[in-house]
Chains A and B, each alone.
Chain A
Amino acid sequence: MAIFAKRKRNVPGFRVTLSVTLFYLLLMVIIPLSGLIFKTSELTWTQLAHTLSTPRVLAACRLSVGAALAAAGVNAIFGTLLAWVLVRYKFPGRSLVDALIDLPVALPTAVAGIALTAVYSENGVIGRLVEPLGWQLAFTPVGIFIALVFVGLPFLVRTVQPVLTDLEKGLEEAAHTLGASAWQNFRYVALPQLLPAILTGSALAFGRAVGEYGSVIFIAGNVPLVSEIAPLLIISKLEQYDYSGATAIALFLLGISILVLGLINFLQTRLQRYRQNLV
């Protein structure tokens, strides 16, 4: 506490904001999460391992993580492309497109869920197109993947856009005068500078997608071992009063969240450092 007392602070409000922040965080974050930890302590390692290794749980976790990874990957490519197009090109309706990028963040997940189902089910606009080919999109893992693409898109575009905007035009012009083609320019000059942002955006999208519930629950088949996502399994276990089981899976998801959070913080410090160099 001495450190907090000695420093002279001319900006007002240190003690007030510190107390308010700590109090609120204690009440709203630390205590609730410790409820989880508390429940965890009731589990033994063997119980935990047992729950997590049942086929159904394994399948659900694998599906959640796998679909999230795939969706993040697709968004990494097309999200970057969208960001590129929004920053570099002028076209009619650009403002509108830019504003709508945030739709998945502003739209309630349940609304997104039923809307996506309507589009990709057999009678839906897209579903109808691929039905003759024998493909089924809704109610399969593919449907889950599509929903997670929807959910993750803004994270990539919004993380890459500012970096792209700040890119020194001069570097690409210099490369151009030195004889680089447009592709080489992108590949060797722009892309390396964008990479931290793309990775951060992908990490954010992945983190969000792994635990996503509302957008996915309608379009997923929810068939155990095939198209059941981890969050749904948690709810199922809760309804059966299997609190330990639910907690075990929750811990797995929480662990992934913390890992991703750590990764993002690491990438963002690198991103910060890089952006400062650009200026």
Chain B
Amino acid sequence: MQDKAVTAKYSLAMKDSQRMSLARLHKWVPALLLGIALIYFALVLVLPLVTVLAEAFAKGVPYYFSTLLESEALKAMQLTLLMSLLVVPLNAGFGVAAAWLLGKFRFPGRGLIITLIDLPFSVSPVVAGLVFVLLFGAQGFFGPWLQSHDIKIIFALPGIWLSSLFVTLPFVARELLPLLESQGTDQEESAIMLGASGWQTFRFISLPQMKWALIHGVILCNARVMGEFGAVSVVSGHIRGQTNTLPLLVEILYNEYQFTAAFAAASVLALLALVTLVIKRIAVRHNHG
């Protein structure tokens, strides 16, 4: 008697009808999951992207191009480009050095350095901007000294440069570090044993193998520099034609209800973002190849 009860309780056998309806349900589950995921994806990501382009061309193609060729827009693009050229190489150089240091060596304080590098990444961009205002602003730490020497950092290009440098500092280092960590030191030791100097080893053995991760890090850094908004907004003073980067221009145009013009400027940045994604895809594929 007890045996039967126990068996019934633990029996995994299902009635045929139950099993069949479950199977039917099972067939639809992947499709359902896929559907939900793609709807979420379209809603959250695709829609905004498409909107940028739609709104940009709302007043027609000629209007689009004339907006972009206006002097304000051109100056903004120039400034954005300039910042990129001044920031990315510096952070790339730092990134290689830091990733090398942290990836190939073990020493006390290593963890602290990693945390310091991660800090700009996790801090709000507005706080990043504020930090520089507190340092170089009129009432800041160096304020009086700067004023007496007639040097302008806040509300001028140097301020934008410094805050961009701060905010994008970790990008290249974070990209390279996992790679260098996982490579180990055998190859470098091997090269040294074969007679290569330290510099030759780095140049001919280590650097070529970092190539794609470096490219990946550089374009991410570049995308962030060109698109940085929060920190630069605090630091730049929004002086039209002088300290407006492209993202700031977008904000100004938008706030003046020049929506189409704002979206036109935004579309340039969106295009840049898409190019970034394409290059990233290629870089990732090479990394795994």
Which positions in A face B, CB cutoff 8 Å? 3-4, 7, 9-14, 16-18, 20-22, 24-25, 28-33, 35-36, 38-39, 78, 81-82, 84-85, 89, 91, 95, 97, 99-116, 118-119, 124-126, 149-150, 153, 179, 182, 207-208, 210-214, 217-218, 230-232, 234-235, 238, 241, 243, 246-247, 250, 253-254, 257-258, 260-261, 264-265
> Mind listing 10 A-B residue pairs with CB under 8 Å?
A35-B134, A38-B141, A81-B33, A97-B41, A106-B227, A107-B49, A109-B247, A212-B230, A213-B125, A254-B127
Q: Tell me, yes or no, whether B79 is within 8 Å of chain A by CB.
A: no
Residues of B at the A interface (CB closer than 8 Å) are 12, 26, 29-30, 33-34, 36-38, 40-41, 43-49, 51-52, 55, 93-94, 97-98, 100-101, 104-105, 107-108, 113, 115-120, 122-127, 130-135, 139-141, 162, 165-166, 169, 185, 188-189, 192, 197-199, 201-202, 220, 223, 226-230, 233-234, 246-248, 250-251, 254, 259, 262-263, 266, 269-270, 273-274, 276-278, 280-281
3 interchain residue pairs of minimum CB distance:
A211-B124, A108-B227, A12-B198
Q: Which residues of A contact B93 (CB under 8 A)?
A: 20
B131 pairs with A111, CB closer than 8 A: no
Q: Which among A14, A104, A107 is the interface contact of B105 at CB below 8 angstroms?
A: A14
Name the A residues within 8 Å of B12 (CB-CB). 179
The answer on a CB contact under 8 Å between A100 and B202 is no
| Inter-chain contact B37/A214, CB cutoff 8 Å | no
Min CB distance A140 to B, Å, is: 18
Nearest residue (CB) in B for A21 is: B98
Inter-chain contacts of B38 with A (CB < 8 A) = 85, 97
Closest to A152 in B: B44
Chain A residues near B94: list those with CB within 8 A: 20-21, 24
Smallest CB–CB gap between B249 and chain A, Å?
Answer: 9
Chain A minimum-CB-distance residue to B127: A250
Q: Are A3 and B124 within 8 A (Cβ)?
A: no
Q: Is the CB of A11 within 8 A of B189?
A: yes
Cα distance A207–B105 in the bound complex, in angstroms: 30
Docked Cα-Cα span, A114 to B257, in Å, equals 12
Q: Is the interface of B mostly helix, strand, loop or mixed?
A: helix
Cα A260 to Cα B226 with chains together (Å)? 26
Cβ of A107 and Cβ of B116 under 8 Å apart? no
Residues of B within 8 Å of A126, CB to CB, are 43, 47
Number of A-B residue pairs at CB separation under 8 A:
278
Cβ distance B229 to chain A, nearest Cβ, rounded Å: 4
Main secondary structure of the interface of A (DSSP, over half): helix
Residue of A84, A126, A261 ringed by the most chain B CB atoms within 10 A? A261
B185 smallest CB distance to A (angstroms): 5
Chain B residue nearest to A215 (CB atoms) is B229
In angstroms, how far is the closest chain B Cβ from the Cβ of A130?
A: 13
Given A11-B189, A111-B52, A257-B123, A213 contacting B233 (CB threshold 8 A): yes
Q: Which of A33, A124, A218, A258 has the most CB of B within 10 A?
A: A33
Interchain nearest-CB distance for B180 vs A (Å) = 10
Write the nearest CB–CB distance from B285 to chain A, whole angstroms.
Answer: 10
Contacts of B140 in A (CB 8 A): 35
Q: Which residues of A contact B115 (CB under 8 A)?
A: 261, 265
